[in-house]
Amino acid sequence: MSLFDNHFTAALSERETAGTRRTLRPVVRQDGMIVRDGRRMLDVSSNDYLGLADHPLLRERAADWALRFGTGARASRLVSGTLDLHRQVETKMAAFKGCEDAILFASGWQANASIMPALCALSVARTGAPMLVFSDRLNHASLHHGCAAAGVRQIRFRHNDLFHLESLLNHEAEKPGLRMIVTESVFSMDGDRADIPALRALADRAGAFLYIDEAHATGVLGPKGRGLSCGMADLTMGTCSKALGGMGAYVAGSKPLCDYLANHASGFIYSTALPPAVLGAIDAALDVVPSLDEERTQLLGQAERLRTMLHNAGLSTADSTTQIVPVLIGESERAMTVAARLEDAGFLTVAIRPPTVPAGTARLRLALHAGLKDAAIDRLGQAVIALTRDIA
């Protein structure tokens, strides 16, 4: 019993009534399939895009580093938690991203949520005026959270609409303060890409710092899986928990940027350093990822195959050009029903509903991973097409 249990229960039943209550549903993984409530399904809901969470080299190095160096880092990075291993992995990450330096965080959420206030504080300290933050409307919750924690009001531009961004930059041109453009290179709900060279040109014209979240591009897109922003962003961040198959996150950029964050990002300063096992997995992922060109080509080819099937049946996949393929359904309930029926048919997908996406654009999010065979893609496409026709 806790003092607030009656309040908790009331809040949960409001969710229940609104049809938005969530529950945690355990899964197990067996022979490349996911099993939930006794049902075996093909997993097209998770973000292990290259299958590295199962890769022998990552498992081995994670286990080896845990055995050799222990299970915990024992302190925060600035106290006595920095091991040679952290610097080794950061140096390797910087080389992978083609940047001068890199700095690791415990998670992507933690990185965004604590970097944003650190950068916004820079504007106040250096100019006396708040940071002007121009952000894509569809940015990840952690970026919004960081802005809220910084107490800045975001200047939001319509998703991937660089004309809108340019007009907002012009509109604020006379305002004091530093300015920053914040966006993702691949959007998690739409699977579309930002035009990074055009963003760089706009940022240069406006004197704005360019902050790119590469959570879904890292490992999958760009030369050798390096992402889409190499050499073009002032700050690139990404997570090691998606295509890199592990946990943790990185920021890559200049050495002064990384040093500044080590001194000013609360989530870095006041959190214990990543443990050896996690570092081992990241280190091994960085060895493996550059060699996976064939897997990347195959993955993107299968996404294209799936989109073509869905388009031929009159379905919309929005502007997806990546391994993330949304199927627009419209009403929330219909999306939920299609997702449930897909589970019966042996596919675990996820229905994404408002408020995560705009009203009337509820969708299935199909996240493909390397190694899916033509036959599996065809069965998935046929099931989606049949069920969206059946369920009015």
Ligand X SMILES: *Cc1c(COP(=O)(O)O)cnc(C)c1O
The nearest distance, CB 238 to ligand X, in angstroms, is 8
| Of positions 150, 182, 215, 383, contacts ligand X by CB under 6 A | 215
| Of positions 48, 90, 213, 295, contacts ligand X by CB under 6 A | 213
Which is the catalytic residue, given 48, 101, 184, 234?
184
Binding of ligand X by 184 (CB under 6 A): yes
Q: Within positions 27 to 86, which residues make up the interface with ligand X, using CB under 6 A? A: none
CA quadruple 172, 174, 175, 178: dihedral sign: positive
How far is 386 from 347, CA to CA, in rounded Å? 14
The nearest distance, CB 217 to ligand X, in angstroms, is 9
| Of positions 109, 157, 211, 347, contacts ligand X by CB under 6 A | 109
| Of positions 61, 77, 140, 159, contacts ligand X by CB under 6 A | 140
Binding of ligand X by 107 (CB under 6 A): yes
58 contact partners, CB below 8 Å, separation of at least 6: 52, 245, 246, 280, 281, 284, 285, 288
Which region among 104-112, 151-159, 222-230, 307-315 touches ligand X (by CB under 6 A)? 104-112
Nearer to ligand X, 249 or 372 (CB): 249
How far is 325 from 191, CA to CA, in rounded Å? 6
Q: Is 378 a catalytic residue?
A: no
Which region among 9-17, 102-110, 167-175, 348-356 touches ligand X (by CB under 6 A)? 102-110
Report DSSP letters for 298-318, one per residue.
HHHHHHHHHHHHHHHTT---T
Nearer to ligand X, 190 or 234 (CB): 190
| Of positions 218, 241, 322, 349, contacts ligand X by CB under 6 A | 241
Report DSSP letters for 64-115, one per residue.
HHHHHH-S---SBIIIII--HHHHHHHHHHHHHHT-SEEEEES-HHHHHHHH
Q: Is 242 a catalytic residue?
A: yes
Number of residues that bind ligand X (CB under 6 A): 14
How far is 309 from 378, CA to CA, in rounded Å? 8
Binding of ligand X by 116 (CB under 6 A): no
154 contact partners, CB below 8 Å, separation of at least 6: 133, 134, 135, 144, 147
How far is 34 from 348, CA to CA, in rounded Å? 8
- CA-atom Rg of the chain in angstroms: 22
CA 128 to chain centre: 33
The nearest distance, CB 135 to ligand X, in angstroms, is 12
Q: Is 47 a catalytic residue?
A: yes
| Of positions 34, 108, 236, 261, contacts ligand X by CB under 6 A | 108
Q: Which of 217, 190, 216 is nearest to 326 (CA)?
A: 190
* DSSP secondary structure letter of residue 155: E
Which is the catalytic residue, given 114, 188, 229, 320?
188
Name beta bridge partners: 213.
184, 237
Nearer to ligand X, 275 or 381 (CB): 275
Q: Is 188 a catalytic residue?
A: yes
| Of positions 249, 265, 279, 329, contacts ligand X by CB under 6 A | 249
Q: Is 254 a catalytic residue?
A: no
Binding of ligand X by 239 (CB under 6 A): yes
Q: Is 184 a catalytic residue?
A: yes
Nearer to ligand X, 108 or 245 (CB): 108
How far is 170 from 57, CA to CA, in rounded Å? 50
- Retrieve residue 122's tokens: 């820079």
Nearer to ligand X, 42 or 111 (CB): 111
- Count the alpha carbons within 13 Å of 337 in the hemisphere toward its beta carbon: 13
* DSSP secondary structure letter of residue 46: S
Which region among 103-111, 152-160, 255-263, 339-347 touches ligand X (by CB under 6 A)? 103-111
Which region among 59-67, 119-127, 212-220, 263-271 touches ligand X (by CB under 6 A)? 212-220
Chain positions contacting ligand X, by CB under 6 A: 107-109, 112, 140, 142, 184, 188, 213, 215-216, 239, 241, 249
> Could you list the active site residues?
47, 140, 184, 188, 213, 216, 242
